[in-house]
Amino acid sequence: MNRTLQNFSVAVLTCAFLSGCASNSDRTATQSNFVTTPPSDAQIENSVTQQVSMMLEAFTPIAGQALPNKSVLDAYAFRDYEPIWVEKKQLNPAIYKLVDTLESARSHGLNPVHYHLETIKEYLSLKSATSQQLAELDVITTIALASFAHDLSIGRYEPQLIDPNWRLDAPSKDWQNLLFLDSPSDMVNYLPTLAPRQPDYQVLQNWLVFYQETAQKEGDIRVTPGIPLRLGDEGPRVAQLRARLVQLGDIRFSTRKTNEDLFDQPLKDALIRFQRRHQLDMDGAAGPQTIKSLNVSLETRAKQIAYNLERWRWLPSQIEDNRIWVDLTNYQADIHLNGQTENMKVVIGKPDRKTNVFYGKMTYMVANPTWRVPMRIARENLLPKIQQDPEYLAKNNYKVFSSWSIGAKQLNPSHIDWKKIEPENLRYRFEQQADEENALGAYKFMFPNKFDIYLHDTPAKHLFNRSERAYSSGCVRLEKPDSLANLLVSNSPRRQQQLQEARNSGQTKVISLEEPLPVYLVYFTVVPNANGMPEFRQDIYDRDSLMEEAMGYSPFPARNSF
């Protein structure tokens, strides 16, 4: 999955044209090469017709991605198999602009190797070209264009093949429109518009280029491990610390003369900025964990950014203005509704009970909800507590039913010998009634999904005081559910009255929303902070390692491992 594309059998292609290659030709010379003994238009068109099916067959998809070969076939059929890049026996100049664009694919965290760049260059370096070679060049260039358009628009990889818990994927066919534009120039010019337009994507892309260029020009400046460095310390390790913070952008260039070896207050301030954006203790001292983070290579940081650019490409091209955005790695929910914004802390699933990444539409909320305990939680959590304390169900206001079927009979839990029940044989349904100790608290907010995940209140308020908040069984607990409930009914006096009546009575009440509200549960390990600096977060679900395995991404051409 993470190796180079199994090209049109590179050996076959190489044999087809290497005898005529002039790899050092410049573009002017190359363009003139194609007019030495030009084949006729009919010869080229006939060759294109022959080559399309054969080359599309050769450029087969590989695991983890879906190459857009059918769209290429449709594009040629739409043109009656006329060549796209060869016009009047000449190469359209747009092909060279496309080469430049493919060269820059790495700035998006994509690898030019996947777009047959070197093969295209080999064809372009021919001293003269037969009709078959021109047809091959035309088709492989169109395949490269289509593949890059696809990957730039909706991502190269299928997210569910990388991470089965990742179900947020917004495939779109808009990129295919590019293949049906009037001219190659229009196609190439359209490419940049396919990249995500969200500001976070664009900022991360700039930082990726920064890390790539800095690594190539300077290499990594390392801070020698040792005793913690603090305000007032002096020595060469302080100078290393200062130089690394300058390299990473936490210290801006200044003409003011500085004692490089002195740990002064500006250096401490810069170090705190670094610690904040790497989720470290912000003590302003360079201890072991801070130095370890400082010494993470530029190449590794570039890879992390690339993984998150791909995650952005999996999102819809347009994000709704009204939405709930649950940022799992930041343990925060951002509610945008009717021009108002509310932010609150959240508690998410434990690493062994990950909160899925997906998109849903909230359609109703329940005030004073009962909790129907999921079977997994009943077997793994609830049953051991009942076996240890036979009164646990009564103390915590649970009802027991004979099965999960509609109309199942309510049972007396004291008549059941719980100690004889093995977890895998547990078939009862448990429901915790609405009260202050209900696991769902006073509210649950429903966006129906197959994962049975929703947003809800919680009686365990103390968990919101912790910086890392992965403690739930998968659902998302909200710090300020009252505020969300108020926002959801803010434009409807009737629903406001329903909500207030439920609060006063303590009775379970379902309140439908006026319109479905999009809910995004997202996972990013690198995001721009408020100052536009990259914030590297803890990979709490170890999802970056899955990205690395799938993508095999190398951010620098010289170290390409494909």
Q: Which amino acid belongs to residue 332?
A: Q
Same structural domain, 120 and 169: yes
pLDDT at 19 over 50: no
- Shared domain for 47 and 146, answered yes or no, is yes
DSSP 8-class letter at 378: I
Q: Of 180, 196, 212, which one is at a domain's C-terminal end?
A: 196
Query: Is the same domain home to 26 and 169?
Result: yes
Mean pLDDT of 488-509: 95
Task: Return the CATH number at 505.
Answer: 2.40.440.10
Same domain membership, residue 147 and residue 291 = no
278 is catalytic: no
The pLDDT assigned to 13 comes to 35
Last residue of a domain, one of 138, 161, 196: 196
Per residue in 317-352, pLDDT (tens digit) is: 889 999 999 999 999 999 999 889 999 999 999 999
Establish if 311 belongs to a structural domain.
no
Tens of pLDDT, residue by residue over 376-401, are 899 999 999 999 998 999 999 999 99
Residues 262 and 346 in one domain: no
Rg, C-alpha atoms of the chain: 30
- Residue 14, φ and ψ in degrees, nearest 5: -60, -45
Looking at the 3D structure of the chain, how many domains does it have?
A: 4
Residues 293 and 344 in one domain: no
Same domain, 366 and 381: no
Judging by beta carbons within 10 Å of its beta carbon (0-12, 13-18, 19+), is residue 95 exposed, middle or buried? buried
Q: Are residues 257 and 386 in the same domain?
A: no
Domain that holds residue 480: 320-370+434-523
Which position among 108, 116, 336, 456 bears the catalytic label? 456
Q: Which of 108, 150, 278, 475 is catalytic?
A: 475
Would 2 be classed as within a structural domain? no
CATH at residue 295: 1.10.101.10
Residue 193, pLDDT > 80, answer yes
Judge if 144 and 213 occupy the same domain.
Answer: no
Cα dihedral 372, 375, 376, 382, rounded to 10, equals: 70
> What residues have CB less than 8 Å from 67, skipping those under 6 apart?
59, 60, 61, 143, 146, 147, 150
Distances in Å between the Cα of 172 and the Cα atoms of 67, 169, 522 are: 14, 10, 19
> In 3D, which of 142, 115, 120 has the Cα closest to residue 56?
142
Active site residue 336: no
The pLDDT, as a whole number, for residue 41 is 58
Query: Is 528 domain-assigned?
Result: no
Q: Are residues 104 and 224 in the same domain?
A: no
| Residue pLDDT, tens place only, 172-187 | 888 999 999 999 999 9
Q: Name the band, by pLDDT with cuts 50, 70 and 90, for residue 65.
A: very low
- HEC letters along 224-261: CCCCCECCCCECHHHHHHHHHHHHHCCCCCCCCCCCCC
Q: What are phi and psi of 152, to 5 degrees?
A: -70, -30
Q: Give the model confidence (pLDDT) of 119-143 as tens digits.
A: 999 999 998 888 888 888 999 999 9
Whether residue 209 contacts residue 234, with contact meaning beta carbons closer than 8 Å, is answered with no
Rounded-to-integer distance, Cα 455 and Cα 132, Å:
60
- Position 306 in a domain: no
At residue 87, the pLDDT reads 84
Q: 114 and 147 in contact (C-beta within 8 Å)?
A: yes
Residues 457, 349, single domain; the answer is yes
